[in-house]
Amino acid sequence: MPGPKYVACVEIGGIPISLSTSSQVFHNLLLRRYAGFSSKAPAEFSLEFEIIEPRPASDDDVCVRRDGGEWLFERGDFFARWDPRTGTGLVRQNANPYSLDSVLRILHSLILAKRGGFLLHAASAICDGRAFLFSGVSGAGKTTMTRLATRDVTLLTDEISYIRPESNRPEVQPESTVYRAFGTPFAGELAKAGENTSAPIAALFFLEKGPDNRIDDLTSTEAVRRLMRNILFFAEDPALVEELLATACAFVASLPIRRLTFYPESQVWDEVRRFGREPQRECVYATR
Amino acid sequence: MPEMYIARSSAIAARMLAGEMMVMNSADSTFFTLNEVATAIWKAADGRTPLSQIVRDHICKMFDVEYPQAHADAERFVADLAGHGILLVSDRPFTVEQPQ
């Protein structure tokens, strides 16, 4: 006779996912891990976890590939099968939170790709009611920007930003799409989950450290190039890359994307606030 | 000189933004921005039209350039993108239909 099933619903980015397991220990682990993101909303998707013998969380490259109508995610410490047609999946992993985080990030990146959204290597925070994103390579200053934020700034994440259009319907005019940034539990160096809230995005800055604070324009193609470099996608899949490139172009056409050179002191946030208050030039990029 | 036929790789995503063509190779995430001439060649790379005809019909007419120079430049561009797996090159027409 099968044992009891423990079910938790975790809602990240406004997408509730049911996570079920027969292991009470693992269930308790995920309740603690995603404490600020548990939800009573009806789940849109579901994952069933089968706990296997402990193996160390792996730094191996993850492999994500299509297998007929399904997706397979594989790394040393987990194996998952996901069927986007039914919205259900089965995960075999050991009971560690790092594997769990990785599986959820991959799953969300696939769900978002179909909805015109993406996960981005970026810190994000809400300031004066709007979200500002700070992206860049490791060491560019993502965590530093969140540490420098004043008390009235709400941290969404210091590592992985969650971005999607307000509406699930694709807009006729991509440049009229409104994007929101959501808090995530995926923490970086700060080791602190973001707040479970969201706000419309005001701007995306690509960070560089320098002797003073300065905001510079980027060409649209340079913005897309940098964006694609920092979007999390795991599959070498042409159809998926095609969707993400279209999404990146629509995002660049909709929002101010700038280079922020900054000196690591709290005054950089004055610069960000000032930028948010000034009217930005209308986007004139044509996409197709 | 043998004819050269060129086709876009199926591993490529391409998008036009602000008048510039961006192409990305899904296999290794390399990203290229094409200039106007390269974009014209890219769009015409249907796998069936010889490169010489693409140069005559598109490049020479659109950009007011002499054929020998245009053809030499086009060959260099094709070799460069073929080296990155973005264009496929053959001495005979490709049989698979190219997406428009």
Give me the total of CB pairs closer than 8 Å, taking one residue from chain A and one from chain B.
Answer: 58
- What ipTM was assigned to the predicted interfaces of this complex? 0.79
Query: pTM here?
Result: 0.88
Tell me the C-alpha distance between A228 and A244, whole Å.
8
| A224 interfacial to chain B (CB closer than 8 Å) | yes
- CB-closest option in A224, A236, A253 to B22: A224
Nearest Cα to A49, choosing from A11, A18, A87, A3?
A: A18
Residue contact A244–B14, C-beta within 8 A: no
Element (H, E) at B81: helix B67-83
Residue contact B22–A285, C-beta within 8 A: no
The alpha carbon of residue B52 is apart from the nearest alpha carbon of chain A, in Å, by 28
Number of alpha carbons in the 13 Å side-chain half-sphere of residue A146: 29
Place of tokens 């009573």: A40
Identity of the residue numbered A129: G
Q: Which of residues 22-41 of B touch A (CB under 8 A)?
A: 22, 24, 26-27, 29, 31, 33
Q: Which two tokens stand for residue A125?
A: 């925070």
Task: Report domain extents, chain B.
Answer: 34-87
Residue A209's SS3 state is strand
Closest chain B residue to A174, measured at CA = B17
Nearest Cα to A103, choosing from A158, A64, A70, A69?
A: A64
**Do A45 and A13 touch, CB atoms closer than 8 A?**
no
Residue A152 burial (CB count, 10 A): 9
**Do A123 and A140 touch, CB atoms closer than 8 A?**
no
Tell me the C-alpha distance between A162 and A61, whole Å.
22
Tell me the C-alpha distance between A226 and A134, whole Å.
12
Helix then strand then coil, % of chain B, to nearest 5: 40, 30, 30
Tens-digit pLDDT string for chain A (288 aa): 567 799 999 999 999 999 999 999 999 999 999 999 999 999 999 999 999 987 766 667 889 999 999 999 999 889 999 999 999 999 999 888 889 999 999 999 999 999 999 999 999 999 999 999 999 988 899 999 999 999 999 999 999 999 999 876 555 566 678 999 999 998 777 677 889 999 999 999 999 999 999 999 999 999 999 999 999 988 878 889 999 999 999 999 999 999 999 999 999 999 999 999 987 755 444 444
Q: What confidence tens digit (pLDDT) does each residue in B15-67 have?
A: 998 888 999 988 888 899 998 889 999 999 999 999 999 999 999 988 989 99
Residue contact A236–B10, C-beta within 8 A: no
Closest chain B residue to A243, measured at CA = B13
